Structure 1
Amino acid sequence: MKALLCEEPGRLSLVSRPAPAPGAGEVLVRIRHVGICGTDFHIFAGKHPFLEYPRVMGHELSGTVEEAPEGSRLKAGEHVYIVPYLSCGTCHACRKGLSNACQSIRVLGVHCDGGMAEYVSVPEANVVPTGGIALEDAAMIEFLAIGAHGVKRGAINAADRVLVTGSGPIGMSAIIFAKTRGAHVTVMDTRADRLAFATDRLGADAAMLADASAEAEAKRLTGGDGFDVVIDATGSARPIERGFGFLAHGARYVLLSVVRQDITFSDPEFHKREATLLASRNAQPDDFAEVVRQIEAGKVPTRALNTHRGRLEDGAALLVEWARPEAGVIKAILDV
């Protein structure tokens, strides 16, 4: 089979290797579409802390069942998406139903080879029928599920004023799912084009530039109260720390971002607000199901989100091009 291999930082090659042989309880999936994630760009740039090279990247995956175990609920040719989090099923977190926080989790395309290839073999539990949605849309389910999980973690409801900081794909997914819950959503970013997309195409109610005026603008928008929920999707330590200043009394702060540095904040300010700080890691099966429901309901503008497409065979050159901010990528998909 063909596979796009990241041999070392900055070097991608289209290689030929044997197709995987499914083990007991595994499903062989013929990959059709691969969404490109910020994680993939970090791996390509050599910035990912939990990775060994060479690696076949790709964890936003959809395809068709090639081979299923005897007695499987799946059948050959069925359209499916893949949940890329391979959990152990036995650790403390898994026993509590928190498979997204498995103590021994492996993520396709990060801890083991992923789906930038013609085939991948994964446990049956990680293979889910797409229902009525298009296969190319199904390749976007995973990143959308991360936003849906963060919104769920924040217990967002229609009475909340929400601030999403960072309007990359993950921030956009948080905007989408906060809006499905009826919240009033403000988005903050350094890029005016992303802010315009968030308001024009995603339904964000307000936008503000992440410049020196942001604190004053937040006070104006909230009557001086601050936001009931702040969701950080910036992926940067200093904006995360700045986000504490936007919290209302009794607010929840959800960190979709993960950074390597320590995060500091003023304990007296945090304490007097009786604020809640929440980590949001990966996504759970009900988050994936929520994404499918909202796509089927027409609440997710998949065509607008998928700004760039290309072939797996051209992936080495395309990833270099798509990594440039000038390319204007929101979500790129490789067709296999």
Structure 2
Amino acid sequence: MRIITCEEPGKLVPGQIERPLIKKRYAQIRIRRIGICGTDLHAFEGTQPYFSYPRVLGHELSGELVNANGAPGFTEGEIVTFIPYFSCGLCIACRSGKPNCCYAITVCGVHADGGMVEFLNVPVDSLIHGEGLSFDELALVEPLAIGAHGIRRASVSPNEYVLVIGAGPIGLGAMEFARIAGANVIAMDMNAKRLEFCKKRLGVSHTIDVTLENATEKLSHITNGDMPTVVIDATGSLKAINNGFQYMAHGARYVLIGLQKGEISFSHPEFHKREATLMSSRNATRSDFEHVIASMKKGLVQPHNYITHRVQFDQVTEEFETWLDPANGVIKVMIELP
């Protein structure tokens, strides 16, 4: 079968390997769609934490279940996706219902080889029914679930002002699910094209271009002087994360979905006087995946809004580096396998 390996930063290599044999408690999926996300791009750049090389990238996946291997309720031939975070089931996080931050977690395409292959084996308990959605839609469930999980972590209430910093795919998903929760969404970025995308495609009423506007002043104006009660970082930029602390209302919650390698810093007195809450948001849970799928089926999320580029599997090594250039307007690249 065909495979593409990131052998080292900046180097993707196509190849051929044997189709994997089925193992106990593993099902096999014929991969039909691969979404490209920031994790893949950062891995290619060499800036992704928790990463080692060589590695087969890809964890936003959908396909045809070719061997269910006894997975309860699943039948061979059905369209599926899966939860690409494989947990131990034994640690304190797993025992507490948080397998998304398992102590020994293995993330497909990060800690273990991922989905840039024709056939992939996954644990049977990670499978997700397609529920009548298309290959494209199912490949978008995972990145949207990341945003949905962050919003759930923030316990967003109707009519709150939620600031999402970063209008990439993960930030856009956070905006969608903040809107679904009834919030007033504010998008912040330094890319005017992405902010325009937020307005036209997602119906975000308030946008802030930090290269042109005083962010603090505009946030105060939008929120009638209160400032946002929820701040979400979806940039993975140390500067953006540190700046986010100054945007919080008193009593606000700050959720870090984005990830970077350095140490964050902020004024303790400013944070303390707000009685603010800082939390991280890692991966997503099955309930987040189910929430995304239900929202798609109800028409609350339009998945095709996100897909800006399509390529065939054999074009990936040639095209991949171009997706790093902001001038190309990439929101979501969808790789197709026939």
Q: Which residue of 2 aligns with 1:130?
A: 130
Letter in 1 for 2:242: E
Aligned counterparts, 1:236-255, within 5 A: 236-255=237-256
Task: Indicate the larger mover: 103-112 or 13-22.
Answer: 13-22
1:263 maps to which residue?
A: 264
| 2:183 is equivalent to residue 180 of structure 1 | no
* Structure-1 separation of matches of 2:332 and 2:220: 32
Query: 2:166–2:187: 8 Å Cα contact kept in structure 1?
Result: yes
Contact kept, 8 Å, 2:27 with 2:71, in 1: the verdict is no
Specify the code of the residue in structure 2 equivalent to 1:135. Answer: F
Q: RMSD of aligned C-alpha atoms? A: 1.1
Over 3 Å counting, the alpha-carbon distance change for 1:63 and 1:243 in structure 2 is: same
Give the Cα separation in 2 of the matches to 1:213 and 1:310: 39
Q: How many residues align?
A: 336
Provide the rounded CA distance (Å) in 1 between the counterparts of 2:275 and 2:29: 48
1:186 partner amino acid: I
Tell me how far apart the structure 2 counterparts of residues 183 and 50 of structure 1 sit (CA, whole Å). Answer: 33
Q: Supply the AA of the counterpart residue of 1:99.
A: P
TM-score (normalizing by structure 2): 0.97
SS in structure 1 at match of 2:229: strand
* 2:277 corresponding residue in structure 1: 276
The residue type equivalent to 2:238 in the other structure is: A
Letter in 1 for 2:218: E
User: Separation in 1 of the partners of 2:334 and 2:318?
Assistant: 14
Match of 2:119 in 1: 119
Cα drift, residue 65 of structure 1: 0.6
- 2:308 aligned partner: 307
What's the offset of the Cα at 1:53? 1.8
- Which residue of structure 2 aligns with residue 198 of structure 1? 198
Tell whether the 8 Å contact from 2:147 to 2:170 is kept in structure 1 after alignment. Answer: yes
Give the Cα separation in 2 of the matches to 1:189 and 1:306: 19
Partners of 2:88 and 2:186 lie apart in 1 by 38
Task: Report the alpha carbon displacement of residue 4 of structure 1 after superposing the two structures with TM.
Answer: 1.0
Map of 2:149 onto structure 1:
149
CA distance in 1, matches of 2:17, 2:127: 23
By how many angstroms is 1:71 displaced?
A: 6.3
Give how far 1:51 is off: 2.2
Quote the offset at 1:239 in angstroms.
Answer: 1.1
Percent sequence identity over aligned pairs: 44
Alignment match, 2:318: 317
Gap regions ≥5 residues in structure 2 = none
Question: 2:150 corresponds to which letter in structure 1?
Answer: G
SS of alignment partner, residue 142 of structure 2: helix
Give the TM-score taking structure 1 as reference length: 0.97
Deviates more, 1:277-286 or 1:314-323: 314-323
Q: How many Å separate the matches in 2 of 1:269 and 1:45?
A: 35
The equivalent of 2:70 in structure 1 is 70
CA positional deviation for 1:96: 0.7
SS in 2 for 1:250: coil
Residue type at the aligned position of 1:252: R
2:294 corresponds to which residue? 293
Q: Give the Cα–Cα distance (whole angstroms) in 1 for the partners of residues 70 and 51 of structure 2.
A: 34
Structure 1 residues not aligned, in runs of 5+: none
